[in-house]
Amino acid sequence: MPTASLPRTAQPVQRRRTPRFARRATLRRSLRLLTSFRFEQSDPARFYGGIATDSAEMIADFYSDITERDLTDTVVLDVGGGPGYFADEFAVAGARYVSVEPDPSEMHAAGLRVAGSVRGSGMALPFRDNAFDVCFSSNVAEHVPQPWVMAEEMVRVTKPGGLIVFSYTVWHGPFGGHETGLWHYLGGEYAARRYRRKHGREPKNRFGRSLFAVTAAEGLRWAATTSADVRTVFPRYHPRWAWWLVRVPMLRELLVSNLVVVATKE
């Protein structure tokens, strides 16, 4: 297990091989992803297109770690898939892509047609047990009121031996408030009201309705208690040499802008 991994007791145990994905986790990649955030509202296709490419590469690496196979002919569920920016990337990888999204306006926001798109809640996934080879969620947990219910639903619908990748924005990190940051450090409600006063409209990500405070510590507690086999926990947008940040309690809340939990279904 790599040094950034946290097992059920949050203490180091048997060491596993360093993830393949670690070789991609360079400073150049980090800078590319972090600078793309300024386009989230103004040019979402540019922002989410880059995130989609990175997600497909990350998931392919971790799937290869556990199966020694690529994503060809796998069935991948994207929980909170939105308008479908990720579909093409997984199609290129040879996977069958299925997304679930509760908001119909979000599903059609980009004018994309995704054949495997299903309307439903991540907290009650409309799929049978053990249905998918891979189940992942990218930047969605902070938008649902019960993210760990969603995480357990993801485990439920994943096949034994399959891969679960749960990635979310940490509230006290610089991107926690989304378009209302960095005012969210003074409180989510205050940040939302200030945004409304300044722009004359509510933020897309409204605190208490479609944006919630999810901490790194909560993710680590889930990793320590889930029935899934947690392989590694790391900060998504950091280079490999900074993955140790997840091991430092206060520091991880401020500097781990996005936490990733990688697990397999036992």
pLDDT at 259: 98
Please indicate, yes or no, if residue 8 is contained in any of the structural domains: no
Q: Measure the CA–CA gap between 148 and 197, rounded to whole angstroms.
A: 33
| Whether residue 150 is found in the same domain as residue 259 | yes
Residue 32 within a domain: yes
pLDDT confidence of 40, banded at 50, 70, 90? low
Q: How confident is the model at residue 36 (pLDDT cuts 50, 70, 90)?
A: confident
Which pLDDT value is given to residue 4?
47
Contact criterion met (CB below 8 Å) for 13 and 223: no
For residues 204 and 218, membership in a common domain is answered with: no
Mean predicted lDDT score pLDDT of the chain = 88
Mean pLDDT check: name the lowest of 11-25, 26-40, 227-241: 11-25
> Do 138 and 233 fall into the same domain?
yes
- Residues 104-153: tens digit of each pLDDT: 665 544 445 667 788 899 999 999 999 999 999 999 999 999 999 999 99
Which CATH number covers residue 105? 3.40.50.150
Residue 96 lies in domain: 20-171+212-265
Over residues 65-101, the pLDDT tens digits come to 999 999 999 999 999 877 677 888 999 999 999 999 8
**Separation between Cα atoms, residue 181 and residue 20, nearest integer Å:** 33
Is position 190 within any domain?
A: yes
- 228 shares a domain with 124: yes
Residues 120, 187, single domain; the answer is no
58 in any annotated domain: yes
Check residue 144 and give its pLDDT. 95
> pLDDT per residue over 2-26, tens digit each?
444 444 433 333 346 789 999 999 9
| pLDDT tops 70 at residue 163 | yes
* Residues 35, 60 within the same domain: yes
Query: How far is 141 from 147, CA to CA, in rounded Å?
Result: 5
Count of the separate structural domains present in the chain:
2
Whether 95 and 187 share a structural domain? no
Q: In the sheet where 158-169 sits, what is the strand order? A: 117-119, 96-101, 75-79, 132-138, 158-169, 258-264, 229-235
- Does the residue 6 lie in any domain? no
Question: Within this chain, do residues 205 and 226 fall inside the same structural domain, yes or no?
Answer: no
